[in-house]
Every structure is written in structure tokens, then in C-alpha cells.
């Protein structure tokens, strides 16, 4: 499978409203292919490629920062929802059934929120690898040395700096454990509740699994580690993940 087709598949597995926000690899490839193989690009050709590249990075950064800001706000709202639900229970303002219904709604929201944040981390990974691929293709075709300085600049871009979102993911996982603890042995009803929640969130869950597997494969793509490599990803049980969906390997071409 060619890289362009692999990239298209990854985009299709993302959220529909995000699909126009990914790197336009096909357009950048068109700019590269316009240059005669083995010949240095003309100033006009090089300017067109760089302008398109800059516009794509600006778009990716703007989208990533917008999502990150929304995540920060939503994370705070979820914390407030949990605190409010616990306070109402402690004050006796709700019946046990009402409390369970409120907690179940919060659980579903947390699961969805966690999944969308994982998809944004995957968005970052896919766009980074797409940029690295098109720059490699550009330098190979033109004999230029554009890849290294551009990648050095990419390492400082907001969409590559994912620590804030990664921290929110970890905190969201802690929230899930707090409002959705593992059922003790013998509590069949509680386990059934967990299973029902998983089924209810199956769509976003499967997209999240696909994203996690893609991120794992992206980081395993290169056998060497260096400044330009994406950091290792600590996944839950990989065998468990792969029992749900097999990720397509990243093409070398």
C-alpha cells in the first residue's frame, strides 16, 4: 500500500468533522511531482511548495490548539460534574437511582472525552509522519536538503508539543477509575453495567483502538531513536488492543 492510500485510510478512521484538518499530502505531492526528477526546483516551484507546506502547518496548529483549549475547558467541567454529583448524594438530595443515573451519564461522557483526546494525539502523529514523508520525497526528487531544517522547526510546533493533551488523557483515566471502579468478584450486575457502557460507546471505542494501534506502529516505524523520532508510547496490553483491530503497517514508499 502506498503511503498516500495509508494516510487516506487513517483520515477516514478519524472523526468526520476532522477530515479536512489533516495534512493535504496529495497537494504537497503534486508540488513535488511538478519538479523534473533530479533537477533542482526553480524558485517559483520551491516557493509554491514551501508556501503550501507553511499553510498546512498553520492549519494543523490552529486546529490542534483549538481542540486543546476545548479539552482543558471540558476536563474542568467534568471535574465539576463529578464533584456536584457526589455532593448531591452526600446531602441526600437525590435517590440512589438518581445518583446512579447521573454517574452513568458522567461515565459515558468521560469515555467519549478520553477517546476524542486519543484521536487528537493520533492526529498529531499522522500529520508528523506525513510531513516527514513528503519532505523526504521532496529532497530525493530535487536533491535539495529541505527536510532537516523543516523537521527541526516542526519539533517546536504546537501540534507536536502534545504534553498538555497527554496529561489530560492521564487525568481522564484517573477520573474513569474514580467514577467507574473495577467491579469486585461476584458482582455480576456491576460487570454487566460495564459491558453495557462499552457497547454503548463501541463506535468511539473502536476508533480509539485504531488510533492507539496507529500511534504504536508510527513509533515502531523507525528502529532508531533520535531527536526527530516521536517519543515511545506506553499502551495498555497490545495483544488486547490487537484482538479488536489490526492496524495497517506504515508504507515505506
Residues 6+ apart with CB under 8 A from 71: 113, 116, 117, 120, 165, 168
Question: For the whole model, what pTM was predicted?
Answer: 0.78
State pLDDT tens for residues 7-56: 888 898 888 999 999 999 999 999 998 887 667 788 888 889 999 999 99
Q: Looking at the domain assignment, is residue 213 inside a domain? A: yes
At 177 the pLDDT is: 76
Mean local confidence (pLDDT), 118-131: 89
Using the predicted structure, report yes or no on whether residue 160 has a pLDDT greater than 60. yes
Q: Looking at the domain assignment, is residue 26 inside a domain? A: yes
Q: Looking at the domain assignment, is residue 251 inside a domain? A: no
Residues 6+ apart with CB under 8 A from 77: none
Largest CA distance in the chain: 77
DSSP helix/strand/coil, 181: coil
Q: Looking at the domain assignment, is residue 93 inside a domain? A: yes
Q: Looking at the domain assignment, is residue 89 inside a domain? A: yes
**What's the CA gap between 159 and 53, in Å, rounded?**
15
**What's the CA gap between 113 and 40, in Å, rounded?**
47
Counting Cα atoms < 13 Å in the Cβ hemisphere of 163 gives 4
At 39 the pLDDT is: 75
Number of domains in the chain: 1
Q: Looking at the domain assignment, is residue 247 inside a domain? A: no
At 181 the pLDDT is: 59
How is residue 162 written as a grid cell? Answer: 502534545
Q: Looking at the domain assignment, is residue 191 inside a domain? A: yes
Q: Looking at the domain assignment, is residue 250 inside a domain? A: no
Taking the mean position of all CA atoms in its chain, how far away is CA 126? 8
Mean local confidence (pLDDT), 112-118: 86
| Structural domain boundaries, residue 97 | 3-242
Confirm if 130 and 23 have CB atoms less than 8 A apart: yes
Question: Which has more pLDDT, 14 or 218?
Answer: 14
Confirm if 107 and 197 have CB atoms less than 8 A apart: yes
Amino acid at each position: 500500500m502506498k503511503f498516500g492510500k495509508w494516510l487516506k485510510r487513517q483520515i477516514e478512521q478519524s472523526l468526520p468533522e476532522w477530515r479536512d484538518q489533516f495534512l493535504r499530502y496529495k497537494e504537497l505531492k503534486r508540488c513535488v511531482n511538478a519538479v523534473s526528477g533530479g533537477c533542482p526546483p526553480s524558485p517559483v516551484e520551491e516557493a509554491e511548495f514551501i508556501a503550501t507546506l507553511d499553510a498546512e502547518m498553520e492549519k494543523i496548529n490552529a486546529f490542534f490548539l483549538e481542540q486543546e483549549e476545548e479539552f482543558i475547558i471540558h476536563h474542568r467541567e467534568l471535574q465539576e460534574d463529578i464533584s456536584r454529583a457526589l455532593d448531591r448524594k452526600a446531602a441526600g438530595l437525590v435517590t440512589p437511582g438518581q445518583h446512579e443515573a447521573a454517574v452513568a451519564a458522567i461515565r459515558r461522557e468521560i469515555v467519549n472525552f478520553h477517546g476524542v483526546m486519543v484521536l487528537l494525539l493520533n492526529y498529531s502523529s499522522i500529520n508528523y509522519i506525513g510531513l516527514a514523508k513528503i519532505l523526504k520525497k521532496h529532497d530525493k526528487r530535487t536533491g535539495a536538503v529541505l527536510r532537516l531544517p523543516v523537521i527541526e522547526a516542526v519539533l517546536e510546533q504546537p501540534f507536536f508539543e502534545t504534553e498538555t493533551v497527554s496529561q489530560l488523557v492521564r487525568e481522564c483515566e484517573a477520573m474513569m477509575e474514580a467514577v467507574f471502579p473495577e467491579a469486585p468478584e461476584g458482582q455480576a450486575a456491576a460487570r454487566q453495567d460495564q459491558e453495557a457502557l462499552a457497547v454503548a460507546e463501541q463506535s468511539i471505542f473502536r476508533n480509539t483502538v485504531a488510533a492507539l494501534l496507529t500511534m504504536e506502529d508510527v513509533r515502531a516505524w523507525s528502529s532508531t531513536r533520535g531527536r526527530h523520532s516521536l517519543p515511545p508510547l506506553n499502551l495498555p496490553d497490545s495483544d488486547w488492543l490487537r484482538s479488536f483491530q489490526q492496524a495497517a503497517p506504515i508504507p515505506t514508499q
